[in-house]
Structure 1
Amino acid sequence: MARTFDLLIVGGGVNGCGIARDAAGRGLDVCLIEMNDLASATSSASTKLIHGGLRYLETYEFALVREALAEREVLLTIAPHLVRPLRFVLPVLPGMRPAWLLRLGLLLYDYLYWRRTLPGTATLDLRRVGAGRPLRETMRRGFEYSDCRVDDARLVILNARDAADRRASIRPRTKLLDAKRQAGLWRARVETQQGEIEEIAARALVNAAGPWAGSLLGRIEGVDQSARIRLDQGSHIVVRRMFEGEQAYIFQNADGRIVFAIPYEGDFTLIGTTDREYRADPAKVHAGEDDIAYLIEAANLYFRQQLSREDVVWTYAGVRALLDDGASAARATREYKLVVDAADGLPLLNVFGGKITAYRHLAEKALDQLKPFFPRMRRGPWTADEPLPGGDLPAGGLAALETALAARFSWLEPTLVARLARSYGTRVWALLGEAAGIEALGRHFGAGLYGLEVGWLMREEWAQTAEDVLWRRTKLGLRLSPQEAQNLELFMTSKCSYCPNR
């Protein structure tokens, strides 16, 4: 007999995988489908930040900011290998928001969630501190405050991994064709990667398709299709490292938008994001030349080192689905909305809007909405207290883990030890196993990527292509040459001792 699931979740981004993890941990039988790779759209195209949303204070979204600040603390605890503190420098520029207003906003930011563990705001004389050296000489005063950086795609993958460890069925590259309520169950037709048509039965359906959440409703029979969401494009550029130190910068622009400049993958600087409405196919979003020029101009307004188009080594763009409140893209709310259609006692839960920082709390609220339909849930909220895979770091945190790895695998390059620790946390021990020398890692593709790790990513993290490995599970696409990437693709498509048959 075919397996009947409690939940069928459509969408393998951070919200879908977060809901899958929470539901599986409460004892529900979960199936998640994603038409492409996990985290292949919005959830890998963020600014890589876990933050309260300082600029949302201007639109008086205090509850949203407070929730995000609380979640920042939770994620620091459950994923300390992926979520790490970062200090942000905010220069004061004549003609922009005045210093008194910035200071007032930062004080409010510090105290909206008083149980913070991160340092509070400080006032800077940019002429006397190292963080001021990269900035133009007109920048004399600024502020410094705390938020966090995150590996966004790995955050998604680890939520999916934890859900799978709790018996959830995670099925990337599986597309929903249509769904309807029939004979007391949701009946969904899906198309597999091999082009086969299958039926999945479930007691509840969750639409967590992100930018496709609105259009997905057109494939579901008998539901309200009038949801008002808007698409907002965010574009980013990556350049060679522009400044020393581990601080990030947040810059004001004359049009009211802000731009971040963030240390990225050691040797690079990430600059973003733009905010503008997007009306085309989300699958075709890309950073246009006007977006690139905007970000270069914003950086050049503040940094001594002037950028040109030739300095850009990589660009990416994503589309966020926001509630349509009629505001401009920069001021549109990041509040999310959960809408339940419970006709015939078979719920459809639609997830509209949201941001990566709040994904875990969103999942909790989603399960609250579904609880009346599943009174035998094994437990209540739990995800704030249990670490994500690899997040159970020893006393001393990442530094202690890196020290232990360096002692056990003394033949590993220090840069590789650091990358593996930050990517996999304590699961790095299982990845490396009993490897006794560099030859045990298998074929080297470049930049410290070996066959042993690739095999792990295919077996444990659903990677199937070089793109999956290089741009989502790792960010080594910034370092491998096109030929090395092609060699990796050929390796992954062949049968080898590290990779399962495909």
Structure 2
Amino acid sequence: MHRTDSSPTPPVAPHASERAGVASLKQRPGASVLIIGGGINGVGTFRDLALQGVDVVLVERGDFCEGASGASSHMIHGGIRYLENGEFRLVNESVVERNRLLRIAPHYVKPLQTTIPIFSTFSGILNAPLRFLTHRSGKPQERGAALIKVGLSLYDAFSRKGGSVPRHRFLGRKKALEELPRLRPDLKYTATYFDASVHNPERLTLDVLHDGLAAGTHARAANYVSAVGVTAASPSAEGAGHDGASVRLRDELTGEEFDITADVVVNTTGAWVDQTNGSFGAPTRFMGGTKGSHIVLDAPELLAACAGREIFFEHSDGRIVLIYPMGDRVLVGTTDIDAGEDLTPVCTDEEIQYFFDLIHHVFPTVAVDQGHIVYTFSGVRPLPRHDDTAPGFVSRDYRIERAALPGGRGQTVLSLVGGKWTTFRALSEHLADEVLTLVGQQRTQSTAELAIGGGRGFPATPEGVQAWVKAHVGGSIDAARAEVLLGRYGTRASEVIDFLRQADDSLLQSTKELSVRELLYMAEHEHVGHAIDILIRRTSLAFRGLVTAELVDEVAGHLAGPLGWDAQQTRQEALHAKAVLAERHRVEIDQLVD
């Protein structure tokens, strides 16, 4: 994640205690593989290589999952609309991986019933071949029932491979309105099918990272460490261990710089791939990302109208958009706008109005306004440069570009172009296999059916969840607290609960969802660099609009000891968290209530 001048400047703490991850990089400044970029694809590749016993290092300039990976639509889906682009390989891989993630990450990836409201029967049939062949949207023309029926039938054919999701079903107007009475009364049909969602993409990324680090000391990772350049190989260093050019790294929390040498450098910095390559002295023009924004609403009327389903449909401009409930909130998205040079965008007033328009397009009698917004977020999709291809038709597939590291001795740079959340495991496997070939090692373990982190042994039924909760109640852990921890960590919550019980603990005054010792656990085991990491990525408190000024101050205060902050740094951390929420997510703390 690369910052621009528009981002709130994070505090620098030159006197803070050195982090274990950074210390390990400085103590052993060489590796077989250096991965730059800690989004889901970089972290997934790190896990895969670590499981093969590869000497691998991962660094991320911001926090893990801070960029596009954390700004996603929270969907794990096969991409039904990619059929229209002719991307059959991607759809096949996506539905296989969706079905797989439901099995290996059941703590975070859940089935998602999806309904498409349809307002015509044959519209779009003549226009569809033109869109398929040219990948240009042209004049918007609504996709009618016949076209959607063909698409869903194809989608079913892909989805049956390795999965058990139900086939789609169509309903006529009368029955459709019985199920979803707040939909527009002039609709003709609804089509309903199943995909999946990931309610905690940041925590799933951390779980994947945890698996990689647990593989052994050959796997090392640090966030808030940026790659800032390349130091050419020294002739005198030839034959001395990891010889060759070194990548210059900077600890973003202290400002200290140091070098690390690797045989293979993997650039998984997403929309920043070209900038990262430029910092190596080898500029590229691979990327052409598009901006996607979302809003989160505390709107009970809209929540009830959705009836637990994602509403997935074509807006009047031809853009495919979505409305779906996440707990007691509703997520609405997304836009698809060429990002240009702005790689840290924010959700604009125009986009917010667009979201309200799309809600009213399908739920005309449901009242929503600015007062219902509790959070906004925006990111840049890591898409390839696409010239005059319409943003919605740019491929979501991926490719790997290979080049020599400038100033090196046969060292290779692999740059990942593209990629999507749903296919991260398969993509990571593909990228890891290329790396294994380069470093002369063999794959020893498949990740295809290997459970991720807290997905191991996760209870498969509501009764199983209640049994797990009951088994972990005791001391300061009541049933409500155990359930929160299970939802946050999956079955890894058992080790967290053991940690909490090692000393006296108490809930924070400003929330019942965090305790003093849990903050200590996060500080010691979850790579926390700033207070904002807790609010946005270690918990969903910001996403759900539950952050107050008191909570920010309390979190910063309890992190001060384990992270080595003095009083001034602690105050700066609280101010920084409030600035990020206001400037990046349009959240004014004083307007929030617990």
Query: What TM-score results when the alignment is normalised by the length of structure 2?
Result: 0.79
Contact 2:516–2:558 at 8 Å: present in 1 too? no
Q: Over residues 152-196 of structure 1, what are the superposed CA-to-partner deviations in whole Å (9 max), with x where a residue is unaligned? A: 111211111111112321111111110255244340111112111
**1:246–1:406 CA distance, 2 compared to 1 (3 A):** farther
SS of 1:476's partner is: coil
2:429 pairs with 1:364: yes
**1:350–1:111 CA distance, 2 compared to 1 (3 A):** same
2:168 pairs with 1:121: yes
Q: Over residues 298-340 of structure 1, what are the superposed CA-to-partner deviations in whole Å (9 max), with x where a residue is unaligned? A: 0111113132233222111011120123311111111111112
Instruction: Give distance in 2, aligned partners of 1:36 and 1:109.
Output: 37
Q: Which amino acid counterpart does residue 165 of structure 1 have in structure 2?
A: A
Partner in structure 2 of residue 142 of structure 1:
190
Quick one: which of 325, 334, 340 aligns to 1:263? 325
Quick one: which of 455, 460, 480 aligns to 2:546? 480
**1:371–1:434 CA distance, 2 compared to 1 (3 A):** closer
2:239 pairs with 1:191: no
Instruction: Give distance in 1, aligned partners of 2:316 and 2:497.
Output: 50
TM alignment of 1:324-339, pairs within 5 A: 324-326=385-387, 327-339=389-401
Instruction: Give distance in 1, aligned partners of 2:481 and 2:186.
Output: 40
SS of 2:551's partner is: helix
Partner in structure 2 of residue 217 of structure 1:
277
SS of 1:297's partner is: helix
Q: Over residues 78-98 of structure 1, what are the superposed CA-to-partner deviations in whole Å (9 max), with x where a residue is unaligned? A: 111010101001010246211
Instruction: Give distance in 2, aligned partners of 1:381 and 1:256.
Output: 44
2:497 pairs with 1:426: no
Query: In the TM superposition, what is the alpha-carbon distance from 1:493 to its structure 2 partner?
Result: 3.8
Instruction: Give distance in 2, aligned partners of 1:376 and 1:251.
Output: 46
Query: In the TM superposition, what is the alpha-carbon distance from 1:464 to its structure 2 partner?
Result: 2.9
**1:470–1:402 CA distance, 2 compared to 1 (3 A):** farther
Instruction: Give distance in 1, aligned partners of 2:110 and 2:159.
Output: 18
Between the two proteins, the alignment pairs up a number of residues equal to 494
TM alignment of 1:29-428, pairs within 5 A: 29-94=55-120, 96-115=142-161, 116-125=163-172, 127-128=174-175, 131-150=179-198, 151-166=200-215, 167=217, 168-180=219-231, 182=233, 183=238, 184-192=243-251, 193-221=253-281, 223=282, 225-240=283-298, 241=300, 242-244=302-304, 245-264=307-326, 266-283=327-344, 285-303=345-363, 304-326=365-387, 327-342=389-404, 344-377=409-442, 379-380=443-444, 382-394=446-458, 396-397=460-461, 399-409=463-473, 416-428=481-493
**1:455–1:402 CA distance, 2 compared to 1 (3 A):** farther
Contact 2:401–2:414 at 8 Å: present in 1 too? yes
Partner in structure 2 of residue 11 of structure 1:
37
Contact 1:35–1:176 at 8 Å: present in 2 too? yes
Query: In the TM superposition, what is the alpha-carbon distance from 1:387 to its structure 2 partner?
Result: 1.1
Instruction: Give distance in 2, aligned partners of 1:75 and 1:148.
Output: 9
My pick for the range that moved more, 335-344 or 397-406, is 397-406
Contact 1:446–1:484 at 8 Å: present in 2 too? no
Q: Which amino acid counterpart does residue 165 of structure 2 have in structure 1?
A: L
Structure 1, unmatched stretches of 5+, are: none
Instruction: Give distance in 1, aligned partners of 2:563 and 2:293.
Output: 36
Q: Which amino acid counterpart does residue 37 of structure 1 have in structure 2?
A: D
Query: What TM-score results when the alignment is normalised by the length of structure 1?
Result: 0.92
Structure 2, unmatched stretches of 5+, are: 1-26, 124-141, 566-594
Instruction: Give distance in 2, aligned partners of 1:3 and 1:488.
Output: 37
Query: In the TM superposition, what is the alpha-carbon distance from 1:4 to its structure 2 partner?
Result: 1.6
SS of 2:453's partner is: coil
Instruction: Give distance in 1, aligned partners of 2:160 and 2:368.
Output: 39
Query: In the TM superposition, what is the alpha-carbon distance from 1:393 to its structure 2 partner?
Result: 2.0
**1:263–1:426 CA distance, 2 compared to 1 (3 A):** same
Q: Which amino acid counterpart does residue 155 of structure 1 have in structure 2?
A: L
Contact 1:466–1:492 at 8 Å: present in 2 too? no
SS of 1:313's partner is: strand
Query: In the TM superposition, what is the alpha-carbon distance from 1:368 to its structure 2 partner?
Result: 1.8
Larger Rg: 2
Contact 2:484–2:513 at 8 Å: present in 1 too? no
CA RMSD, Structure 1 to Structure 2 (Å)? 2.3
Query: In the TM superposition, what is the alpha-carbon distance from 1:479 to its structure 2 partner?
Result: 4.2
Instruction: Give distance in 1, aligned partners of 2:274 and 2:102.
Output: 32
Quick one: which of 434, 457, 471 aligns to 2:536? 471
Q: Which amino acid counterpart does residue 267 of structure 1 have in structure 2?
A: D
My pick for the range that moved more, 468-477 or 386-395, is 386-395
Contact 1:8–1:32 at 8 Å: present in 2 too? yes
Instruction: Give distance in 1, aligned partners of 2:171 and 2:71.
Output: 31
Instruction: Give distance in 2, aligned partners of 1:172 and 1:434.
Output: 23
Q: Over residues 21-48 of structure 1, what are the superposed CA-to-partner deviations in whole Å (9 max), with x where a residue is unaligned? A: 0111111111111111111111110000
Instruction: Give distance in 2, aligned partners of 1:131 and 1:322.
Output: 38
- Which of the two has greater strand per residue? 1
Instruction: Give distance in 2, aligned partners of 1:100 and 1:438.
Output: 63
Query: In the TM superposition, what is the alpha-carbon distance from 1:353 to its structure 2 partner?
Result: 0.9
Instruction: Give distance in 2, aligned partners of 1:376 and 1:437.
Output: 42
Q: Which amino acid counterpart does residue 286 of structure 1 have in structure 2?
A: V
Instruction: Give distance in 2, aligned partners of 1:250 and 1:120.
Output: 17
Q: Which amino acid counterpart does residue 193 of structure 2 have in structure 1?
A: Y
Q: Which amino acid counterpart does residue 309 of structure 2 have in structure 1?
A: Q
Query: In the TM superposition, what is the alpha-carbon distance from 1:457 to its structure 2 partner?
Result: 1.8
Instruction: Give distance in 2, aligned partners of 1:399 and 1:501.
Output: 43
SS of 2:261's partner is: strand
Instruction: Give distance in 2, aligned partners of 1:423 and 1:74.
Output: 21
Contact 1:277–1:329 at 8 Å: present in 2 too? yes
Q: Over residues 90-133 of structure 1, what are the superposed CA-to-partner deviations in whole Å (9 max), with x where a residue is unaligned? A: 01024621101111101101112422222220113454356412
Instruction: Give distance in 1, aligned partners of 2:175 and 2:501.
Output: 49
**1:408–1:160 CA distance, 2 compared to 1 (3 A):** closer
